[in-house]
Structure 1
Amino acid sequence: MNDLSDIAHLVELSVAPVFLLAGIGALLNVVTARLGRVVDRARNLEERLYAPRSDDEAARIRAELGSLDRRMLLAQRAIFLFSTAALLICLVVASIFIGEFVDLAVPALVAVIFIATMFAMIAGLALFLMEISIATKVLRVRADLFAK
C-alpha cells in the first residue's frame, strides 16, 4: 500500500458512503428542526393550560400535548437511528482504509456494517413518517373545528 493510485482507489471507494453521510446529515437537520418546533409548541400549550380556561379548551390542550409528546418521542428515536446510521457509515469508511493498511480482509465486515446502516435508516425513516402522520392528523382535526 505504498502506491498513490492505491490510496486514490480507497478514496474512490469511500466517496459513496460519504455522500450517504451528507444525506443523513440533511435528514438529521430536518428531524431536529421538527423536534424543536414540537418542543416550542408544547411549552406554549403548557403555559396556556395553567391560565384560566374552560374545561373544553383545557381538554383540547391536553389532547394536543399528548400528541406532541408522542411526536417528540418518535423524533428523538429517529434522531438516534439517523445518528447511529451516520456512525456506522463512518465505520464503513474507516474499515475500508484500516483493512487496506493492516492487510485485513474486510469486505464482509464492510457489507455487514453497511446493511446495519440501511436498517437504521429504514427504521429512522419509518419513525419520521409516523411523526409526520401524527402531525397531519392533528392539523386535519383542527381544520375541521374551523370549517363551517
Structure 2
Amino acid sequence: MDDSITALASIIQIAVAPVFLLAGIAGFLNVMSGRLGRIVDRARIIERRVNTLSDEARLGRANHELRTLWRRVHIINWSIGMCTASGLMVCIVVVGLFVGDFWSLHMANFVMVTFVLSMLLLIIALLLLIREVQLATRLLVAGQEFMEE
C-alpha cells in the first residue's frame, strides 16, 4: 500500500476520537437549546399573566419568577456559547491533524493546546448548565412553598 494512503489512514484513525467528542458536544447543545426554548416559552406565559394579576403576593411571585427565568436564559446562553466554542476547538484539532500531516508540520503542541482549550470550554459549559438547573430547581421548590402557604 502507498505510504501516503497509510499515513492518511493513520490520521483518520487518530481523528476519530475528536469526532466522537464532537457528537457528544452536539448532544449537549441539543439539550441546552431545548432548555432555552422552554425557558423563553415560560417567560412569555408569565409576562402575559403579570398584566392580569391584581393580588400583590401573586404579582410579586410572578415578577420573581420572571427575573429568575431571564437569569436562566442568560446562563444557558453562555453555556451554549461555551459548548459551541468547544466544538469549534475540536474541529480545529481535526483540521490541525490533517494540515500537520499534509505539510509535515510539527503540530503536536498546537493540537494539544487546542484540545485542552476545548475541554476547558466544555467544562465551563457544563458548570453553567448545572447552575441553570439549580436555579430551575430552586424556583420549583419556591413555587411549591408558595402553593403550600
Range into which the TM-score falls when normalised by the shorter chain: over 0.9
Supply the distance in 2 between the matched residues of 1:46 and 1:29 (Cα, whole angstroms): 26
Number of aligned positions between the proteins: 148
Supply the distance in 2 between the matched residues of 1:86 and 1:39 (Cα, whole angstroms): 25
Look up the match of 2:49: 48
Residues 5 and 94 from structure 1, CA distance in 2 versus in 1: closer, same or farther, beyond 3 angstroms?
same
| Within-5 A mapping of 1:107-122 | 107-122=108-123
| Within-5 A mapping of 1:71-82 | 71-82=72-83
Give yes or no for the alignment of 1:87 onto 2:88. Answer: yes
SS of 1:104 mapped into structure 2: coil
Supply the distance in 1 between the matched residues of 2:94 and 2:46 (Cα, whole angstroms): 45
Supply the distance in 1 between the matched residues of 2:3 and 2:103 (Cα, whole angstroms): 13
TM-score, normalised by the number of residues in structure 2: 0.95
Deviations 1:115-145 (A, max 9, x none): 1001101110110000000000011111223
Give yes or no for the alignment of 1:32 onto 2:33. Answer: yes
Deviations 1:7-63 (A, max 9, x none): 110000000000000000000000010000000000000001112421111110000
SS of 2:134 mapped into structure 1: helix
Look up the match of 1:63: 64
Look up the match of 1:20: 21
Q: Percent identity?
A: 34
Look up the match of 1:136: 137
Supply the distance in 2 between the matched residues of 1:46 and 1:146 (Cα, whole angstroms): 20
Residue identity opposite 2:67 in structure 1: G
Residue identity opposite 1:110 in structure 2: V
Shift of 1:2: 5.2
Supply the distance in 1 between the matched residues of 2:147 and 2:53 (Cα, whole angstroms): 22
Q: Which runs of 5+ in 2 are unaligned?
A: none
Q: Which runs of 5+ in 1 are unaligned?
A: none
Q: Which runs of 4+ in 1 moved over 6 A?
A: none
Please report the RMSD computed on the Cα atoms of aligned residues, expressed in angstroms. 1.3
Supply the distance in 1 between the matched residues of 2:78 and 2:93 (Cα, whole angstroms): 22
